[in-house]
Structure 1
Amino acid sequence: MRFRPMFAICGLSCLLAGGALPPVACAQEQMAVGASDHDHALLEQVERHLDAISQLKARFRQTAPDGKESTGTAWIDRTNRRMRFQYDPPSPLLLVANHDQVVFNDSQLDQTTTMPMDKTPLGLLLRPRLQLSGDVTVTGLLHDGHMLNVTLVRTDSPGDGSMTLLFHDSPLRLRGWIIQDAQQETTRVDLLDITTSGGVPPDSLFSTDLPEH
């Protein structure tokens, strides 16, 4: 999992997220996360919750580092490790993750960029079994009874940036994420009108056969 500046356009474009929160809200509690039984219990809840999501569709609102907002529709198919972020007009952006790669298309610039999935934050969200340990280190945990924020970095290169997963609490529910890159620029994605039921989306939705320029 690596955090690239390109994704700051869209934790996913970054996919992908940064907003009005200070960088990053979880920095309020820079602790030895996981040192207590309570920390362990919260992180295990997060792992179980994300592992239980097989299909997700939602509207999203993205806030760029400059404060500009864009909206669109997101499809996340964790069962088949694929994802699509379709931005509403007039945005020219489209992001598709499938076949272990992420394809980012800007139709206005006639530019398509492809990178390995495990080099982006998407790699974490689409893992068959999520573990908040090993090559991922939890550096922040903020829990106030109504929300839970978990900040993650890549263990072997924490300076690359961070990803903060945002959850509603009681019951636990993913509500978005914040990506902070190595330049301390943050992009935020909020998920709205989330549905986790319904049939498997068609394969055509996740086609990565986009024009290369």
Structure 2
Amino acid sequence: MHRRALIALAAALPALPATAQSQRGRAPRQEAPPPLGGAEVAEPERAQALARVEAYLNGLRTLKARFLQTAQNGQTAQGTAWIARPGRMRFDYDPPVPLLLVASYGQFILYDRDLRSPSTVPTSATPLGVLLQENFRFANAITVTSVIRDGGFLRVTLFRNSQPGEGRLTLILQENPMELRQWVVLDAQGRQTRVTLSAIEVGGRFDDRIFAFNNPTFFEPGGFGQPQR
């Protein structure tokens, strides 16, 4: 896979294969963020809101959730997500989507189980990688373009200063209590991908092997990287 294509995949989670079928009704229902609307937050409330988001993300050590990925054309897929900050993430898609995305050891790896083909890029080369930084700061090589408050949610849109042409990442967080609920990626071609989290659990302990793609058995049939479904 071309390196630039993989960077785009790691930003939004992978684009769905043409053979994937929409999956409905398997993730527990949870209140979704409202449709786009709301009002831009002005200073000094804007700085205060960003400080709260930073504090939340830096205090978030582990998160497990179901995710629903929605492409601009309405195609959907879902699966289970694990995040262990700093530096580690795993998105495991439900069948029939054969994809697995793992971040660890400073690398994003995308694995297609059907093709038995892994591809990697540095975590630092992806917009989503900013969430895995040990000390998350909006001022660290990031430009925030908008902070919008809407119905108890904050939408923070940003881009990386080093790659302003790669698109925009919008984080959508419930304000009280603060919780990451969704993100939206608008890529350089104007395509939007939305990832919504539900059944969120924080503070749990994960087996380190779910992130250990440098283990020779990780991708083997029956290996820990391919848990029983």
Is residue 139 from structure 1 mapped to residue 145 from structure 2 by the alignment? Answer: yes
Give percent identity, aligned residues only: 40
2:68 to 54, 58, 61: 61
Q: Report the Cα offset of residue 8 of structure 1.
A: 5.4
Is residue 203 from structure 1 mapped to residue 208 from structure 2 by the alignment? Answer: yes
1:167 to 173, 180, 184: 173
1:177 aligned partner, one-letter code: W
Query: What residue ranges of structure 1 are gaps of 5+ in the alignment?
Result: none
Q: Report the Cα offset of residue 83 of structure 1.
A: 0.8
Mapped partners of 1:88, 1:197: distance in 2: 24
Mapped partners of 1:10, 1:91: distance in 2: 16
Q: Report the Cα offset of residue 7 of structure 1.
A: 5.7
Contact preservation (8 Å) 2:156, 2:170? yes
Contact preservation (8 Å) 2:6, 2:120? no
Mapped partners of 1:163, 1:86: distance in 2: 21
* Closer, same or farther: CA 9–98 of 1 in aligned 2, 3 Å: closer
Mapped partners of 2:76, 2:9: distance in 1: 11
Q: Deviations over 1:88-146 (max 9, x none)?
A: 01110000000000000112233321000001123211000110113100011110241
Contact preservation (8 Å) 2:172, 2:180? yes
* RMSD of equivalent CA atoms: 2.6
1:41 aligned partner, one-letter code: Q
2:213 aligned partner, one-letter code: T
Larger Rg belongs to: 2
**What is the TM-score of this pair, normalised by structure 1?**
0.82
Aligned to 2:29: none
Count of equivalent residues: 196
Contact preservation (8 Å) 2:146, 2:158? yes
| Higher relative contact order, chain-length normalized (CA < 8 Å, sep 6+) | 1
Contact preservation (8 Å) 1:151, 1:163? yes
Q: Report the Cα offset of residue 12 of structure 1.
A: 4.5
Q: Report the Cα offset of residue 10 of structure 1.
A: 6.9
Aligned to 1:128: 134
* Closer, same or farther: CA 175–50 of 1 in aligned 2, 3 Å: same
Q: Deviations over 1:33-82 (max 9, x none)?
A: 8x721110010010001111001000100012321110100000004x21
Mapped partners of 1:159, 1:189: distance in 2: 21
1:112 aligned partner, one-letter code: P
Mapped partners of 1:58, 1:138: distance in 2: 26
Aligned to 2:88: 82
Tell which deviates more after alignment, 132-141 or 5-14: 5-14
Q: Look up the SS of the partner of 1:44 in the other structure.
A: helix
2:79 aligned partner, one-letter code: G
Is residue 71 from structure 1 mapped to residue 78 from structure 2 by the alignment? Answer: yes
Contact preservation (8 Å) 1:15, 1:122? no
Mapped partners of 2:56, 2:179: distance in 1: 7
